[in-house]
Chains A and B, each alone.
Chain A
């Protein structure tokens, strides 16, 4: 059975959920091999094995993390040469897509990004599903040239354990000087909120213009549900919430089990970032707000009274 390379998304060996999702999906196409670039492979190895990695390729280059995307692209290009995989799966986040883009050119391979599903097609080659035009169309696509390179959005698959050996294989690859041209010279960590990460969260509660800048009811409701907090572009542009929390075309695209939009009108820009959520709930004073066209449940009312009441009720029911 052919190998399927999965690029691990990790920080010093601490894996993000997307990696287990990709390993789960990779099993549909062949035998998954995790690709670990940077330190911390020892810590991550158990997780790779648990989710079905037969092999773990480790490139322990301490420098790799200090440079943008090019080193990972070089590692994957050299692995493609070496093992001729059936496909390469990469998380569809900003960095993942750029790694994939450089890899596609380097290896002469077709690239699909933002897939929400991957499966083996009739001929055994991978076939993907994407949601386009702000979620108004579903597209099925395949790669026709080279090694299929597929970026899969987080939350696209339920993770399933399927233990394999996860045999660590140290690979000697050379990272060129050219790949070390864009250097991260400073990183100021964000204050930890204790909330799950936006793109990985099962539940997202977002606030918009209707908060008037006061996100406390949004945050408290999110915390009662164990949810991530998002914000509309209007709220971010007003300086009420950080850009890294923006949901929409120019922010994050999220696809949680439950999306709650509070005080967000639902402009197309915002819809592009959340329309594929499984269940959508909105609270808005304006009953004409376009967001209500999408909802499974909507409350026409003031978020400053509806959300605190809902928060109290959720806490009560959760005991």
Chain B
């Protein structure tokens, strides 16, 4: 103890508490999805999404990774852990997040996971988040939805399982004084929402501009740790996940016939009139 601290014993403790508060450990949950630009389809054998097509880190998750990095950078101390549940190729999604600047990755991979629905995915994510944080997550960030399933329900399910308040669709996020405050753009109002930490926050594509990995980031990512966990590591029963355990079933799927292109006219000074005529003929007027 130095002389100042001896005279003012509160100083040391206050400083230490400040340090603890500043330090933010954030878990970001991300998903590896089929590229929306490629031909997405189902597998005939079991009506699940065909994941053989080229995949990538779901674009909407990049905003969550970016926001986590910004929070830790602002706090000056902390760690961003990126968690994904998915097949071997999902390592690419983690790699992208690590290249952006996340500190470590967790890849939950298990044969039994194939065909898991949102309910099972949220179970596995919840267990992985708990294990990654020794049972006490501080702040969990997610994107607003995936770009393939687009149900947008996993954040809420995850919050329910972790027993955390959920603060979703954030277009602005502030973390401090043991709470999160977000702004979101609702249908009828712009809302401010508050919850105390620990909490789960989902962010929209309005919140920031995700960075591109720098050359340095790409090189550094190669040395960053990625934990590989199986269901057994998480204490999840294989019978609780996968296609057979799903609480919903796809009965059938059909490719929608492409819309047949209708009438196309070039405006020669009467395009607006022709448009109104079409609407009138279709009984919209």
Contacts and interface: CB of A to CB of B under 8 A. Distances in A.
Interface of A: 11, 68-70, 73, 93-94, 97-102, 104-106, 108-114, 121, 127, 131-146, 178, 181-190, 197-199, 203, 225, 233, 236, 242-244, 249-250, 257-258, 268-269, 272, 275, 279-281, 283, 287, 292-302, 305-314, 317-318
| Residue from A112, A199, A272, A302 whose CB has the most chain B CB atoms within 10 Å | A112
Interface string B27-39: 0000000001100
A225 B179 CA distance: 46
Contact of A249 (B147, B252, B258, B275): B147
Contact of B248 (A94, A97, A112, A312): A112
A188 B169 contact: no
A202 to B, nearest CB: 9
| Residue from B155, B191, B205, B258 whose CB has the most chain A CB atoms within 10 Å | B205
A18 B277 CA distance: 31
Contacts of A182: 165-167, 193-195, 199
A250 B248 contact: no
Nearest to A109: B247
B206 A243 contact: yes
Q: Give me the 8 closest cross-chain CB pairs, A-B, nearest first.
A: A309-B272, A301-B267, A110-B247, A181-B165, A313-B276, A101-B156, A310-B272, A101-B153
B259 A293 contact: yes
A69 B37 CA distance: 34
Interface in B241-285: 246-256, 258-259, 261-267, 270-280, 282, 284-285
B258 to A, nearest CB: 8
A293 B280 contact: no
21 contacts: A68-B168, A104-B119, A110-B247, A136-B40, A136-B255, A137-B255, A140-B252, A183-B193, A198-B187, A249-B147, A268-B37, A294-B259, A296-B263, A299-B271, A300-B265, A300-B266, A306-B267, A310-B275, A311-B272, A313-B273, A314-B285
Given A113-B153, A134-B36, A306-B272, A258 B279 contact: yes
Contact of B262 (A133, A298, A313): A298
Q: Is the interface of B mostly helix, strand, loop or mixed?
A: mixed
B119 A244 contact: no
Interface of B: 36-37, 40-42, 60, 117-119, 122, 144, 147-148, 150-157, 159-161, 163-169, 171, 181, 185-196, 199, 204-206, 246-256, 258-259, 261-267, 270-280, 282, 284-285
Nearest to B192: A186
A305 B267 contact: yes
B192 A292 contact: no
Contacts of A143: 247-248
Given A243-B185, A280-B259, A184 B271 contact: no
A279 B282 contact: yes
A317 B163 CA distance: 58
B285 A185 contact: no
Contacts of A311: 272
B151 A97 contact: yes
Given A113-B152, A298-B263, A300-B264, A281 B275 contact: yes
Nearest to A148: B248
Contacts of B166: 68-70, 98, 102, 182
B204 A243 contact: yes
Nearest to A297: B278
Nearest to B167: A182
B270 to A, nearest CB: 8
Contact of A292 (B119, B252, B264, B275): B264
| Residue from B156, B252, B266, B278 whose CB has the most chain A CB atoms within 10 Å | B156
A144 B248 contact: yes
B68 to A, nearest CB: 19
B272 to A, nearest CB: 3
A314 B279 contact: yes
Contact of B284 (A135, A225, A233, A287): A225
Contacts of B277: 313
B201 to A, nearest CB: 10
